[in-house]
Chains A and B, each alone.
Chain A
Amino acid sequence: MPVAAKPALKKPVDTMSSQGLASKKASKGGKGKTPRGKDMDDMSEMGEVGDEWMQQKTMVKPDDQLELTEQEMKEEFTRILTANNPHAPQNIVRFSFKEKVFKQVASVDQLAIHFTLDGNMLHKDSDEARRQMARGGLAEAPSEPAVAEGEEKAEPAAEGGEGEAKPEGEGGEAEKEEGATQTAPAAKDGSKKLTNQFNFSERASQTFNNPYRERGTQTEPPPRVNFSSTANQWEIYDAYAEDIQRQEKSKEKKGFRGQQESTSRKKISAIESQGDDISRIEKPAKILERMVNQNTYDDIAQDFKYWEDVSDEYREQEGTLLPLWKFSYEKSKRLAVTSICWDPKYRDLLAVGHGSYDFLKQTRGLICLYSLKNPSFPEFIYNTETGVMCLDIHPAYPHLVAVGFYDGSVGVFSLTEKLQEPMYKCTAKGGKHTDPVWEVKWQKDDLDNNMNFFSIGGDGRVVSWTLVKNELLCTDVILLKLDESPADGADGTQLFTLGCGTAFDFHKQTDYLFLVGTEEGKIHKCSKAYSSQFLDTFDAHHMAVHSVRWNTFHPKIFLSCSADWTVKIWEHTSNMPLFTFDLGSSVGDVAWAPYSSTVFAAVTSDGKVHVFDLNVNKYEALCEQVVVTKKKTKLTHIEFNPNYPMIIVGDDRGYVTSLKLSPNLRKIPKEKKGVEAAKGPEVEIAKMDKLLSLVREPPPEKK
C-alpha cells in the first residue's frame, strides 16, 4: 500500500500516527497526505500519547534509509488512489466473428476479488432445507430458546470448526453471523440430535494432473507464382484473330485427315501420358549414373583395360591378381554370396545370388545383377523369401535366370518382366526338393522345344524341370543312393538311403554325361539315360565335394574341390586322381580358365585365391593371394569371365570382388620361332595330353 510505504521515507513520527489511522483511512479510501492540516489535528489528539512514545523511543533508522534534505522531505508527492484494479488489463481485444475483425472491448472489468468463501447455509424455505428438515423429522416451528441453548453448545464447536473458514478481520461482523447461524440451524433442529453437515468430515484429494505442453506447427503455404502481361485493345484483337484462324484451320483439317489425325493424336497423348517428368528422365539418368561411376572409378577402368603387371616379366613362375571393382549392395551386406554367374550374351552383366550357408540362421535371399559399367548399384534386384543357393543364366535367352532356393524350391526369373516374383515357381506338390538346392544348370531345349534345367538338391535327387506354359514340370533324373544295403520298409518295400548331392557339372561335348559330387565325398559319373545306376563312382574326398568341373577343352579331365582342403584333378576313366593339391583351408569353389586347358583357380575359406597353371608348375600355385580386406572372410565362389582376363570372387560377407589376372597367369605357351602360335581347342587338348603323359601311369598292357 503506497500510503503505508510512503511514511517510511518521511518523518518517523508520521509512521506511528498514520499506522494508527490506517484503518480509518483505508475504509475511507480517501486522499493521502495532501490535507496536512487534518494530520496535525489528529496528531494533536494523540499528541500526548505520541510524546510519550517519542520520549521512550529513539529514532530508528534503517541502514538503507534514504538521506534526504529538509527541502526534499517537505516535497509533496501527490498520489491518487482510484478504484481501478492495477492488475486488470487496459486494452482487451477480441475477434468479432460477425464483422471478422479484431475489436477492442469497450470496458474492462475492474473487479478484483481477494477472497471468496462458499458458504453452506441454506435458506430455511428452500427445497433442500425442507428436504433435510423432513429427513430429520423436524417440526416447522421449533421452540427457539430451548434450541438456542442447545445451539450455543454446538455453536462454539461449530465455530471452532469453522474458525479457519471464517475470514479474519471480520470481528465486527461476527455477532451478526452468530445470529444468522443461530436462526438457520434453529429452523432445522428438531427432536433428533443434529446430524448436520458440520459433523461430516469432508475429504478431498487432487489427482496428479498431467502437465500441459504447447505445440505449434506451421504448414507450408500454398505455392505462388508470378504472372505478368499487358491487356490492351490490340492484344485482345490479336488474340481473337488468332483464335478464329485456329478454329478455321481445325475445321478444314477435320474433313481432310480424319483418321490420321486421331492416331497421331493418340500417339502424342500416349507419350505424354506415359511420362510424368520423372519416368522420362529415367534413361538419361541411367546414362548419367554410369558416367559418374566411370569417372569415379576411372583408374579402375583404366587398369581393367590396359594395366599389365610389369613384374611378371621378372618372375617366371608367379603371377598376381589386381583388385578391380568391388560390387556390393547395402541390403546384401549380411548375406553370403552363394553363387555368381556371368551372362553369356551381355559381356558386362553378372548375376549374384545371396543367401545364407548357416543352417540355423536362415534369412531372406537376394538376387542382384550388376553391370561392370556401374559397380555401385545393381541393375536388377530381386528379393526372395528364402536364401538363394544357386543361379544360372540361360545361354540362349539371357533374360531367364534359373534359381535354386534354400527351402528346396526352384524358380525362373525373367528380367524383362518387371516382377519381383519368379515367372515360374515350383510348388511343394510339384516335386520340389526337400533340402536346399545346391546347383541349377540350363540344358538345351528338349524335343518339344521347351526350355529345361537340372537341379541337384540336398535330398539326393537330381531333378529335371521343364517350362511348360506357366508351370514347371519335374522329372527325377537320378537318385543318389548310398552304397549301404537297402533297408526293409514297413510294407515290404525297400527303402534306400539317399546321399546328399552338392555339385554337378555337365560335359561340354557329350550331352548326356554329367558328374555329381556328394556330401559324402564321392563323385558319381552319371548319364541322363540311366536313372537308377551310376556309370562310375570315384571315392574322391573325405568331406563334402563343393564343386566339380569338366575341363573347358579336354574331354576327359575334370576337377573337384572339397571341404577337406584338397583340389584334385581326375581323368574320368581312372579311379585315381592325377593331381592333388592341398590348399590349407576348405576350398569353396574351383573354376577352369576359358582360355587355357591348364589354368584353373580355386578359392578357400581363408580368403585366398589360388591360381594354377599346370603347364608352368605342376606342384604349386602360380599365385596365392588374399583378396579380401577383412579377416575371417570366407570366399565362396569364383568365376572366370569368358571374354576378359578377369575373375570374380564372392565371399560370405556379401561382396563380389573382381580381379584382373596378370599376364603370367594367362600364358599361352610360346611356340618355336617362326611357327605361328596355333590356338584353338586342339592345341589345348594336345597341351594337356602332353602333361598327362608325364603323370599318368602307363596303361597296363591288355591282351
Chain B
Amino acid sequence: MAATPAVAIHQFAECITCHAWSPDQSMIAFCPNNNEVHIYKLFTDKWEKLHVLAKHDQIVSGIDWSRSSNKIVTVSHDRNSYVWTQEGSDWVPTLVILKLNRAALCVQWSPKENKFAVGSGAKSVCICYYEQENNWWISKVIRKRHESSVTSLAWHPNNIYLATTSTDGKCRVFSTFIKGVDTRGSQSSTATDSKFGEQITQLDLSSTWAFGVRWSASGKTLAYAGHNSMIYFVDEVESAPAAQNLALRDLPLRDVLFVSESVAIGVGFDCNPMIFAADDTGLWSFVRFLDERKATPSTSKASQLSEALGKLYGQSKGTSSDTVEPSKPRGGAHENCITCIVPLTKGRDGTIKRFSTSGLDGKIVVWDLENHITIAK
C-alpha cells in the first residue's frame, strides 16, 4: 500500500556514534566510531566524503550543527570540545576549554545558538558561551547535583532551562541564565529570575540509567527514557510535575523526539522507531512501531529465548532447529541499536514531517511521516 516510511538508508560506516545535518540538509556530519568527524555531501544520488575533521584524540561522542550560525560543535572522550567554523572550503576549529577531568558525552546548541551545553562523565554540565572581547568560548560548569555521568541534554525553548539525564537515574532541569548573554526582559518570569546552576526540578522516576531527554516544541512536556524499558512523559515540569510512566513491552530506548505536542518517537535497542501518542486528555500510550517490515523466521524471539534457557537447564523444548540463532536479521531499516534521532523538516503546521536516525549498524536512515501517521495538533 503506502511506501515504507524509511525513505533513505545509507550505510556510511561500520558503526556510527552520532550525527548532525547542515542547515540546508545537503550535508551530514557523523562520527564513524573513531576520533574523526566525517562530512558527506549528497551529489545528485551519491554521497561523497567532503571533509574529515580530525582534531580529537578519542571518540567523538557528540556533534551538533547550528541552523542559523552554521557552526559545528563537537565533544569527545578526550575531554575537549571544538567549535568548527566554515571559512571558504575549510572547517577551522576553535578549542573550547571545558575544564573536565572525564569524558564529554553529549552536546547541544541552545535554541538561540549563543550557548551550548556539554554533559560529561565528571558528573557535571558545562555551559559555554562566546565572549566577543577575547574572541573565545568560555565554559561555566554546573558541578552540583549530578551523582553520575550526564548522558543527554535538552534545551527548553526559552534558551535558559536545560534538562539533563544521568546514569544516576534522575532527570533534572537547571537554569543556565548567564548575565550578559541572557536578558532579563521587561516581564519578570521564573526563568529569567533564576540563577545560573539553580536546580528547578529533579525527577526521580527511574531507578536505572536515564537517556534521551527532550522537550516538546512549546516546552510544556518533557520526555525521557529509562534503561528499564520505560518512557516518562512529564507535564508542568517547572511548577507541579505530573508524570506518566509508560512500561514498554520490548527493549529500552536510547533517544526520543517530539514530532508534535502529542506525538513522540522513541528509538533504541529494538532497532525500530516507536510511535507514542497522547489522546485528548493528555494520556500517553504506545501506538506501534514505525517500520512495518517484518522478520521472516517463524519462531518468535521469546520461544528462541526459552529454547536457549531450556538447553541451559538440560531440557529440550523446541522441535524445530537444533541451533538457536539469537541475532537473525530482522528485515528492518536498522540492524542494530539506534542511538540518535535528529529532526529534519517541519510541515506548515509546525509538526515534524521528516527525521533521521543513526545507529550502531553504521547506517543513517531518513524517515518520512507523511501518509504514515496522522498527527493531531
- Whether chains A and B associate is no
Residues of A within 8 A of B (CB): none
